[in-house]
Every structure is written in structure tokens, then in C-alpha cells.
Amino acid sequence: MLAVSSDAGLSTFQSASKKAPVRSGAYFPKSTPTNAKFEAPCEFRANLRVLLLATFAASATITLVGCGSWGHNPAEVESLRRFVSEEEMMTKFGIRKFLAGLAVLLLFVATTIVVTSSAFASPAAAPLASSLQQTQASASAAKTNTSQAKADVKAYTLPPDLYEKAVKYSRAQYILYFVDFVWGVIVLLLVLAWRLAPKYRDWAERATKVRFLQAVIFTPILLLTIAVLGLPTDMYGQWLSRSYGISVQGWASWAWDWTKGEIVSFVIGIILVWILYAVIRHSPRRWWFYFWLAALPILFFVIFLTPLVIAPLFNKFEPLETKDPALVVALEKVVHRAGMDIPPQRMFWMNESEKGNDLNAYVAGFGASKRVVVWDTTIAKMTVPETMFVFGHEMGHYVLGHVYKGLIFGAILLFILLYFGFRGMLWALSRWSGRWGIRGTDDWASLPVLLLWFAILGFLASPAANTFSRHVEHQADQYGLEVTHGLIPDSSQVAARAFQILGEVDLSDPHPNSFIKLWLYNHPPLAERVNYALTYDPWGQGKQPKFVR
């Protein structure tokens, strides 16, 4: 599936929306070759571990602040009145209610994972059995450029062994997504409960009186603390990809990529945090709006630089015309058909095979930095016509203005997150700033509170963001079908084969649950994409195509 990422300005041709390691910036699911050896864990034990983890985390969260009851125990209230003021009492009970409610939320998420995971299991075997025979040879064919010899694709289906792996792998990725969110919230609560941010603030203020230098000291330490505490889910995600043969990256290489990613986040974080607290000190009530205005050009500049500076830190890029001149000639035909000007100097080859077996292509940057990137694994496992369709899909994002629409959508989303983050931080600090050791909104130590609200609000905004992404990805699919029609023989079948290969290699879920599609999928499920490729035919109906006339 393809995705326009508002935070990275990238678009990927991928098969499912799943968490990926930070490398090239592409939001892309990992895959397994057909000969991968994997022994899946017991589903019941895996789900039970998730529930126990969330239960323990929620209980620990309550215990950290001494939260022991849901309501106001009369005896306890009377006892408290003897020793504390009414305001302190209400603060204590406010903490209890908030954290008890949060514990219920975490338990609800965990229970939802366990209950709905049964819906991810294989659908009825009857319709599947009739279609499996049609694709028995497709797994091995995905590794070679012989897809023309395969039987015509009539629907997205998988052989029995790949089907089982795809369902299990997808289910594990879904569970990891929710566990990662829950654990991220717990990490930020631990940082607040342990008063780590005030400690780091004191270090920075004792070291220098210059505010920018304080940001240089405070920001990396806090971000590194949060990142280290979040390593368990990051490492499990990498282990999961390696277990299914999707990632071939060694742990040393993965750790080095993780380190480089943190360094990049430190540099960007220092600048943003310094500006944020300068704006807060200047305008305590309107900082969210002024920071939004200040952050937009910085984020756009980062997106502009990503393909030029950041992405090469994680992967090797070379001009596509030096690696596969014949493919460039074929892609230029697509460019000419669209009436576009994408010179070969804007087409790049990326060496993904050193780190993974998955397939991808994406568009990145804008203006002078815009480019189309095709992974070497895609070139190796797809035919030239199939790669032409993939390229047409990617080109559609530029022709249809999806990159700029994604930037606008991201800016609007950031505006909303900042406003509600501002309201939420005021609410939280009015109740628990003393307990957390935070002096006020302009205190460096208030940053974890804002990050906590961003995490929660961002999670709740996922359905809206993914709905937008699925819409533009569907449009790009439509554009790819139109721009290759008549240019390559049987273009609809070529597109369907490209999706089929993508699903086989990336272990895409054949039948994702509707809730999972809404919450996690930033691309239409592959079954829908294959069906659309096979049924979209305005030419046969005597109609004009929508985008390419």
C-alpha cells in the first residue's frame, strides 16, 4: 500500500499498515519469504501475556500514587480533614479518579485486543479452499520475474502455509500496536511519577543560565530516557520481523539505526523544545497557536531535507539509471504518457535487501527534493510491467497533489493536537504539578505532560488520519491503472499480480477485521485493491477515466 506520511512527507507502495523500524522513513510492513522457518507461539498464551501485561501496568500505575479506591471513603475523608486542607484532599481524589479511569482504559484496550483477536482468524474455509489451488505456485513465482507465466489473478489469496503465517503475523502486529501505545503512556507516567524531568531541569539550570543551552542539556536526556524505557516494544517488533524472515537486519545494525534515529530526534527536538518554551514564556495563553505557526516551516524544512540528508543515514541510494537503465526507459514511457516531467535524475534505487526482504516504492520530499524511490527487492521480485504500475501509482501522488494535501492535513492535525494538548496540560498541572515537581507550564519539566497528551490524542486521531490516507492511496491506485492502460498489455491483470506478489512477500492479512482496518490501516486492504484493479474499467463502459484522459 501507499501512504502519505504527514510527519515524513513520504509515500509508500505497501501491503498493510503495520509498525516499521525507523530507517528510510517509509511506513512499511515487514514480510516473510516462503521458506522462512518459524514456530508460532501458542495464541492463548500470547493473548494472556498481553492481558496480564496491561493489567499489571494499570495496577502499577495506581499503586505508584497510592490510589486505592474508586470513591471517597467517608472514614478516609474524615481522617484527611484532620491533616490536610480541602484543596489537597480534592487533588488527591482527583488523582485517584484520573488514574483509576486511566487504568480502566488500559484494561479496556487489553481486553479489546484479546477479544477481537479471535476475529482475525481465518474466515470460512469453503470460499478459501476453492481459491487456494489457483495460487499454489504464486509464492515461488514472487521471487522471480516470471509472473506472466502464472495463472490470472482473480482475487487476493494465499497458499495454506502463507495464509497461516500472514494471519499470525498480522495478528501479532495488531496486538503490538496497541501494547506499544499502552506502554508508551505508562512510560510517560513513570517519568512523571519518578520526577525525572524536574531532576533533568535542575541539572540544566545549574549548568547554565542560557535558555538555549538549557534546552541542549535537558531535551536529549529526557528524550533518551523515554526512548530507552520504550525499547522493550521496539526490540520485540524487530524480533517479530526477524522471526518471520521479513527483516534480515542483524541486531548490531538495528541498534546502530536506532542510535542514529535518536541522534536525529535530539537535533530536531532541541530546536523545537527551545522554541516551544520561548513561546510559552512569551504568551502563556496563546502559545499553542504561535508555536504551531513557528513549527510548520521547521517541519516542512525537515520534510524537504529528509530524502537529501536523513534517509541516506539509514539506507544506500543510487541513481536508478545506473542500476537498471532498461527500467528507467520503461518508466519514462509512463512519465511521457502522463505528460509529466520527472527526469531520470529524480528516480532512485534503494538497497533494502541488506536489511529486509519486503517490497516497496515511495515518493519523498517536495520542490527541489522530490523524488521517486524503488527498492531493489521490488525490482528483483516484480516484472518490468508490474514495476511500471507501481511507479504509476507513485507518480499519481505528485500529479494529484497528495504530497501537498498530506502536508496541509498534517498541519491541521497538528493545530488540533496542540490546542487540546494545551487544554489538557493546563488541566493536569492545575491538579498534580506539585506532586510531579513541575513549577508551571513554562517549566522545562512540563514537557512529559504535553507528550502524554500528544500520545493519547494522536492515538485517538488515528482513525481520521488513516481514513484520509486510505482515500489518497485509493486515488493513486486508480491513477496507476489509468496511466498504464494501453501502455502495457492487460494492465488490470498486471496491477492485480503486483498486489498479489506484494501480499505474498509482505504477509498481508487477507481479511483484516473492520475495526483494525479503521484504526490501523493507512492503505486499503490488499483484497480490496486487487478487486478494484480487476473491476475498474471505464473504457469498456464507454466512459472517460477520471484522471488520465
Q: According to the model, what pLDDT value does residue 132 have?
A: 31
pLDDT digits (tens, 9 = 90+) for 240-269: 999 999 999 999 999 999 999 999 999 999
Q: According to the model, what pLDDT value does residue 341 have?
A: 84
Q: pLDDT above 70 covers what percent of the chain?
A: 73
Cell triple for 358: 519486503
* 419 has a pLDDT exceeding 60: yes
* Residues with catalytic function: 394
Q: According to the model, what pLDDT value does residue 483 have?
A: 96
* 466 has a pLDDT exceeding 60: yes
Q: According to the model, what pLDDT value does residue 12 have?
A: 65
Q: How far is CA 377 from CA 31, 223, 238, 254, 356, in A?
A: 11, 34, 19, 19, 8
Q: How far is CA 393 from the centre of its chain?
A: 20
Q: According to the model, what pLDDT value does residue 106 have?
A: 57
* 180 has a pLDDT exceeding 80: yes
Q: According to the model, what pLDDT value does residue 277 have?
A: 98
Q: According to the model, what pLDDT value does residue 549 have?
A: 84
Lowest average pLDDT, out of 47-56, 157-166, 223-232, 263-272, goes to 47-56
Query: Among candidates 140, 178, 169, which has minimal Cα distance to 242?
Result: 169
pTM above 0.75, yes or no: yes
Mean pLDDT of the chain: 81
Q: According to the model, what pLDDT value does residue 109 have?
A: 54
* 30 has a pLDDT exceeding 90: no
**CA angle (95 as vertex; 90, 100 as ends), nearest 5:** 125
Q: How far is CA 420 from CA 171, 453, 479, in A?
A: 32, 8, 37
Lowest average pLDDT, out of 14-18, 86-90, 317-321, 467-471, goes to 86-90
Please give the Cα distance from 458 to 94 (Å, whole number).
Answer: 24
Q: According to the model, what pLDDT value does residue 367 have?
A: 87
What sign does the CA torsion over 15, 17, 21, 26 have?
positive
Q: According to the model, what pLDDT value does residue 358 have?
A: 93
* 47 has a pLDDT exceeding 70: no
Lowest average pLDDT, out of 147-156, 449-458, 484-493, goes to 147-156
Q: How far is CA 262 from CA 64, 266, 299, in A?
A: 29, 6, 17
* Residue 105 binned pLDDT confidence (cut-offs 50, 70, 90): low
**Mean pLDDT, residues 129-157:** 52
Question: Residue 296: in which H helix or E strand, if any?
Answer: helix 287-305
